A and B are shown apart, each in its own frame.
Chain A
Amino acid sequence: MGGLQKKKFERGSATNYITRNRARKKLQLSLPDFRRLCILKGIYPHEPKHKKKVNKGSTAPRTFYLLKDIRFLLHEPIVGKFREYKIFVRKLKKAYGKTEWSAVERLRENKPTYKLDHIIKERYPTFIDALRDIDDALCMCFLFSTFARTGKCHVQTIQLCKRLTVEWMNYVITSRSLRKVFLSIKGIYYQAEVMGQLITWVVPYQFSHDHPVDVDYRVMATFTELYTTLLGFVNFRLYNSLNLVYPPKLDSNAESEPKEESEDDYAMNSESYLEKLSALSASLARVVSSAEEEEAQLDHFPTEGIRSAQMEAREKELKQQEAQKKLFEGLKFYLNREVPRESLAFIIRCFGGQVSWDKSVCIGSTYEMTDETITHHIIDRPSVDKQYINRYYIQPQWVYDCVNAKVLLPVEDYFLGVTLPPHLSPFVEEKEGDYVPPEKLKIMALQRGEKTGNEQEEEEEEEEEEEEEEEQEEEEEDDNGDEEDDEEEVAEEKNLKKMEEQRSQGKVIFKVTPGKLKVENKARLEQEEKAEEKRLAIMMMKKKEKYLYDKIMFGKKRKVREANKLAAKRKAHDDAEKAKKKKARK
């Protein structure tokens, strides 16, 4: 056998991967810089299939990157900027050491900066790609915009985040693309549909953060750097798509202009503009001032049966969406000072409502509490001194529930001091067999347009109770039936045994007992037959398939078990409530 001797680890998967340390050395970067680069360029490690082969026979835990990825990083102009920055820091230190203040000043003036535009373009070649990935960017920017302007990161970053999020919210309001909202214990979730993409983000409640010590803010800051750039470009494009001016400007000839008088309370003019924007109470200026939007009408194509059914469904969905967009149109809200103003203003404006608040809460209130045309007063305290007779005093959950239900829910359940109905997550889509909370069923009934008064409900409850009892009885009967069958068999055997004994003892008694007519349930028999067939077929499954089948069935059963558990818990709770009520009545 001729030829060169083959060496190990010189071909195959060992050459496709590179460890983190070697990659770092190849790029001549420090670990933080390498990390930054990876974050900005979206490079992540890879898990090789045969780790030992790639690790050259060693089993030490290592992080591997694709060599291709690292080569790709080599050509990144930002790497040069990182080096420049390193040099800048070194020079600055030197100047400080020599106390050459003019040099320090000069250096500071020429501090190297970099732009991430090309990286954004490279990572997201089309706008839709960028939109698809904007969830994380929004979450991060909303989080950073709530940070205090001290300590953890640069003030400019916080300001930029604030600006971008305000722009985003204004876009969502103008395009009316908000779909779902959810008050969770973590924060408020929003879901918007922008250009066909569902975008979900979460905003923390308005409290100051106690910053954890085990969080590396440098990583977060790097991500934010990327995300602010991305969000800025996305905002620009979105504003352009709606013919809005970017950076956003308030519409000067809108009828609901914020009052000017409060302007003096704010120190800085530049900031007050952003604040006015972030008040979310005024509409934005357009490049072409034609307020009328042409509605997207579905064209009718002559199609056959199935397609047309699809079309109908789509049309119906569109109509529903349109209706949802105008959910709060014509309603006038007033926010009391204890409710989350930004969130509620955002949502109400998204669905076409008018909103205002006390002018001492925030800039940008449009009308006073004394306005007689206010229809809904949102309030979150047990009682209020002076009530106007021509408006509903409701708790803030009503707004969120209405948005999720896509209809205006009855306000009675949300009045002042009333125990609120549970707030359900709009993101859960129950499949068949899943547990559906009764509140959801009720809302679904409302959506279908069925009216359920309280009296009816009570009646229903009673009926339900009766039904339940009946069912129980039936079940018992069924059980009894089975048992009877078994019992019959057992009795028969006993009889036979007795007879045999008698026979063996020589006493043969012939006796004819009247036979019983066996009622055969045909459907049940058929079912049983089918079940047995299935059982027999399952016996013949191959080992591998059997394993998979068992796994799937186990998962299904677990799901059912969980659903049953929830239902049982709910039932126990309801029973307890009922008992309490009865006691109270007595």
Chain B
Amino acid sequence: RLEASGSHRSRPSSVLCVMHLEYKDIRNTVGNIPVEWYKDFPHIGYNLDGKKIYKPIRNKDELDDFLDKMENPEYWRTVHDKQTGSDIVLSDDQVELVNRLQRGQFGDVNFNEYEPMVEFFSSDVMIHPITNRPADKRSFIPSLTEKEKVSKLVHAIKMGWLKPRRVEDDGRGRYYDLWASEDSSILARHRMHLPAPKIPLPGHHESYNPPPEYLFTDEERALWEQQDPGDRKLPFVPRKYSSLRQVPAFSHFIHERFERCLDLYLCPRQRKMRVNVNPEDLIPQLPKPKDLQPFPTTQSLVYRGHSGLVRSISVSPSGQWLASGSDDGSVRFWEVCSSRCMKMVQVGGAVKSVAWNPNPSVCLLAVALDSVVLILSPSLADKQVILSSERLLSAQQEGEEPAEGNGSVVWSEAEGEELNQGVRLKIQHPKAVHQVVWHAKGDYLASVMPDNTSHLQVYIHQLSRRRSQNPFSRNKGLVQCVSFHPIRPYFFVATQRSIRIYNLVKQEMTKKLQANSKWISSMAVHPGGDHVICGSYDCKLSWFDLDLSTKPYKMLRHHKKAVRGVAYHRLYPLFASASDDGSVIVCHGTVYNDLLQNPLIVPVKVLRGHVMTHDLGVLDVTFHPTQPWVFSSGADATIRLFT
């Protein structure tokens, strides 16, 4: 389709103007001005005669135009002249001309654009020169300025100022076999090199469609959001998408790569030796408890009868009788084998400690309550034995009156009802007595009155002479318990933190054992006399080897709560500890005569049976003198025998 614009500037239309002037001259004389200037006037300009050229009465609208297009066969060659407002139908020649110009050909049909060219200046030298001017001198001699320039460049190249233009490729993306000659010269650097750890591989959590258990529940999600980014177990929230098409871009992808980069060049690297230990290997190889029999394993008898907590128990040297003192103010005597209560003595006060005279030829029991130590003769033995014990008690009566030791301890005979019950002697102390202990020979008796402020904490009484003495002249701390050495004249005093050993003959301290615990509760001396165990309220049991060191040879932290009592067996290599957690732990502790061999300590049995009452469990523990049996007394008012 032809679409000619009315603009005079374009070459074809100006040609057109010239062309159609020939037959009908309605030239507009206003010149080459915008047509819009006449839009408010009825005319559009002036012709050669000076007459107005009027616009057509009615402008063609779209419909007219369309109708025209449909009906008029000449429509395609009709051009609207804006300057005159008239339509001009192009003739065949004109259409031909337009076509030629559009094809980029010359307008004139007869013009030959391919005429042979005459070459005036060619490479051939003609016999006649174009000009007659003689050549300049400078065209014969070399140029100085050029020489200067060249020499400058040469100098610049020589000096390295000027570099030849580089070949374009910069070497990037040029690869070759770098490792063609793999020389095995591995430097020390490479040996020391720590390769960066690889990024851990993703787990099921990271899947776009993980199993449902790996997705967060609401609580987990809330927790994750609350947590500090450093504390989070997963750095992202697991998500589930029903199809791959729905998976969005991971917003932290670049971040993660960047952090990896930072890790690679900013993080110090260290070789961490990861202990890869089989936990079973850490458990020490101990002899099997089976091989260390006999030791008590089961609870076989329960001695019931007391109504208060049983603070102290003691077994007669024959092993037939058991004495117990309780908070209900009674001392009971039990037959060991039948758990039958043979005798009960009401002493009128909470009994703190009972101790059976270890001498098998006498039958006496020391009982500590309040500030009194009672000597009982339970008369539960042969006549011979009873007689000999009576003799021991009455030995002094025949002699002179007892010398009032320090004036503070009063010995007195029991009378009346008490005498009938079996109480023979009363030793009145100035303060509350907590513990009584016999010497192995059965003549001496030590009593403890813990008091922080006084040096009157321990008394040693001699039964046969009814004499008491205070061996210490100075307060060395709160005395917890005391004990006699089974063979030699030594005396053990346990204060709050340490155990002091005194030589009674030389009257001096021989050793001080550091217990490494906060508060010693109880102490027992090995029948051999070279080993001591002490329990403490901070759940520890320390075993001292007196020949080895003043520090504990072993600390046993077996109990969960305070250790209340410890005991050695007289014959078997056993010791037991009783604790507030309601258990009695029996350990095997062999002591060798060879000084080089350390004692072998193996826990063999945890005995449970006592019921916790008032947060107290087992209060005292003692072994049977001949059998591998252990007695324990508890806060639940029972005594139990484990065999």
The interface-forming segment of A457-465, A511-519, A541-549 is A541-549
Q: Chain A contacts of B166 at CB under 8 A?
A: 109-110
The answer for the CA separation of A338 and B282 in the assembled complex, in Å, is 58
Using Cβ atoms and an 8 Å threshold, which residues of chain B touch A149?
none
Which among A163, A183, A428, A573 is the interface contact of B208 at CB below 8 angstroms?
Answer: A183
Instruction: Let me know if B21 is at the binding interface, CB within 8 A.
Output: no
- B186 interface residue (CB < 8 Å to A): yes
Q: Which of B143-151, B223-231, B264-272, B451-459 contacts A (4 or more CB under 8 A)?
A: B264-272
Query: A185 to B208, Cβ gap below 8 A?
Result: yes
Tell me which residues across on chain A come within 8 A of B206, comparing CB atoms: 182, 184-186, 425
Cβ distance B338 to chain A, nearest Cβ, rounded Å: 12
CB of A45 within 8 Å of the partner chain: yes
Structural contact, A130 and B179, CB atoms closer than 8 A = yes
- A-B residue pair count with CB separations less than 8 angstroms: 259
Q: Are B175 and A235 in contact (CB under 8 A)?
A: yes
Cβ-based interface call for B284 (8 A): yes
Q: How many residues of A contact B (CB 8 A)?
A: 108
Would you call A437 and B211 a contact (CB within 8 A)? yes
Is A210 in the interface zone, CB < 8 Å from B?
A: yes
B602 at the interface (CB under 8 A from A): yes
Contacts A160-B173, A536-B604 given; does A570 touch B204 at CB 8 Å: no
Are A539 and B558 in contact (CB-based, < 8 A)?
yes
Q: Considering only CB atoms and an 8 Å cut-off, how many residues of chain B contact the other chain?
A: 90
User: Closest Cβ of chain B: how far from A585's Cβ, in Å?
Assistant: 21
Q: How far is the CA of A241 from the CA of B217 in the complex (A)?
A: 51
Complex interface residues of chain B between 187 and 235 (CB less than 8 A to chain A)? 187, 189-190, 195-196, 198-199, 201-204, 206-214, 217
Q: Which residues of B contact A380 (CB under 8 A)?
A: 243-245
Known pairs A215-B254, A428-B204; A183 contacts B265 (CB<8 A): no
B247 contacts A185, CB within 8 Å?
A: yes
Q: Is A80 an interface residue (CB 8 A)?
A: no
How distant is B593 from chain A, measured CB to nearest CB, in Å?
23
Tell me the chain A residues, 126-169 only, with Cβ under 8 Å from chain B. Answer: 126-127, 129-130, 132-133, 135-136, 139-140, 143, 156, 160, 163
A420/B288 in contact, CB under 8 A: no
Q: Which residue of A lies closest to B183 (CB)?
A: A125
Smallest CB–CB gap between B559 and chain A, Å?
10
* Residue in B closest to A396 when the chains form the complex, CB atoms: B244
A146 CB to closest chain B CB (Å) equals 9
Known: A211-B254, A428-B203, A548-B282. A240 touches B177 (CB 8 A): yes
Do B244 and A395 have beta carbons less than 8 Å apart? yes
Stretch touching chain B among A200-208, A317-325, A326-334, A385-393: A200-208
Compute how far the CA of A44 lies from the CA of B242 in the bound complex, rounded to whole angstroms.
Answer: 44
User: Does chain B have a CB within 8 A of A445?
Assistant: no
Inter-chain contact A209/B198, CB cutoff 8 Å: no
Complex Cα spacing A351 to B190, Å: 37
**B282 near A205 (CB under 8 angstroms)?**
no
Which residues between 194 and 232 of chain A lie within 8 Å of chain B, taking CB atoms? 200, 204-205, 207-212, 215-216, 219-220, 223, 228, 232
Chain B positions 556 through 567: 1 when the CB is less than 8 Å from some CB of chain A, otherwise 0: 111000000000
Asked whether A538 is an interface residue with its Cβ less than 8 Å from the other chain, the reply is: yes
Of B255-263, B487-495, B529-537, B616-624, the segment with at least 4 beta carbons within 8 Å of chain A is B255-263
Tell me, in angstroms, the Cα distance from A438 to B212 when the chains sit together.
Answer: 11
**Considering the chains assembled together, what is the distance between the CA atoms of A126 and B217 in angstroms?**
49
Nearest chain B CB to A19 CB, angstrom units: 13
Q: Scan residues 449-494 of chain B and give those whose CB is less than 8 A from a CB of chain A.
A: none
Q: Which 10 pairs from chain A and chain B are nearest by CB? A: A427-B201, A207-B249, A47-B268, A570-B213, A569-B213, A422-B211, A184-B206, A236-B175, A423-B209, A186-B250
Q: A121-B179, A537-B285 are in contact. List 8 more A-B contacts (CB 8 A).
A: A44-B268, A126-B179, A182-B207, A184-B202, A204-B250, A220-B257, A397-B209, A552-B282
Residues of B within 8 A of A (CB): 163, 165-166, 170-173, 175-179, 182-183, 185-187, 189-190, 195-196, 198-199, 201-204, 206-214, 217, 236, 238-239, 241-245, 247-258, 260-262, 264-270, 275, 277, 279, 282-286, 288-289, 302, 304-305, 556-558, 585, 601-606
For this complex, 7 residue pairs linking A to B, each with C-beta atoms less than 8 Å apart, are A183-B207, A183-B209, A185-B236, A219-B262, A381-B245, A396-B244, A423-B210
